Each structure stands twice: as C-alpha cells, then as structure tokens.
Amino acid sequence: MAIVNKQVRTVKPTHPGEMLREDFLPDYELSATSLADALGVSRQTINELLRERRAVSPAMALLLSRLFGNSPEFWLNAQRAVDLWEEKKRQDKKLKRIRPLNAA
C-alpha cells in the first residue's frame, strides 16, 4: 500500500544555481570564471547556471560533486525539485481535472 503525501509545497525550491551563487562560491572563494576553469566548462555555461537559466544536467552534477565532495544526487535532486515545481505550476489546471483512482 502506498503512503499518500498530501502536503503541498508553498515555497519554490532553491535552484542549484542559487545554491552555487549564494553558498558554494563565497565559501570556496570562487568566481564564475574560476568555477568554470575548475570544472573545465565555459564561463557562459556557468553564468547561465548561476542566473538560473540553465538546469543541472547529469554530466554537470558529476562535475560539481567531484569538485565539492558531495554526491551527484544532491545536485540532481535539487534540480528535480525545481523542475517538478515549475511543471506543476504549468500543469495545475490539467492536474485539477484528473480524479485520482482508488484501488478496489
């Protein structure tokens, strides 16, 4: 039997780019340029991520986890939370029309 989660999140999840910008870069004394160099990616890629215009891909999650010593799942779960939040907002009217089924 499934556990039903009826809690509705009211605050948008933190984008991984915001985490990087507000927490990781200052703590490690990194700039966007030095982060891009450390990861071996372009500054444009990092700037788009920091400005929350780019999602964390599995490849980027692996790079970030290697650099900061955490797991790729940390970065992907943060991105997944944002993606689901945004999609729920887009699909809200359609979702409300669907009536949940109950098992017999």
Helices and strands in the chain, H and E counts: 6, 0
- Give the CATH number for residue 74: 1.10.260.40
Q: Would residue 7 count as lying in a domain?
A: no
Q: Would residue 5 count as lying in a domain?
A: no
pTM of the model: 0.86
Q: Would residue 77 count as lying in a domain?
A: yes
Task: Give yes or no for residue 6 having a pLDDT over 80.
Answer: no
Burial class (CB in 10 A: 0-12, 13-18, 19+), 19: middle
Structural domain that includes position 70: 16-97
Task: Give yes or no for residue 22 having a pLDDT over 70.
Answer: yes
Q: Would residue 6 count as lying in a domain?
A: no
pLDDT band at 103 (very low <50, low <70, confident <90, very high): confident
3-state DSSP: the chain helix, strand, coil percent, rounded to 5?
60, 0, 40
pLDDT band at 1 (very low <50, low <70, confident <90, very high): low
What are 64-83's pLDDT values in tens digits?
999 999 999 999 999 999 99
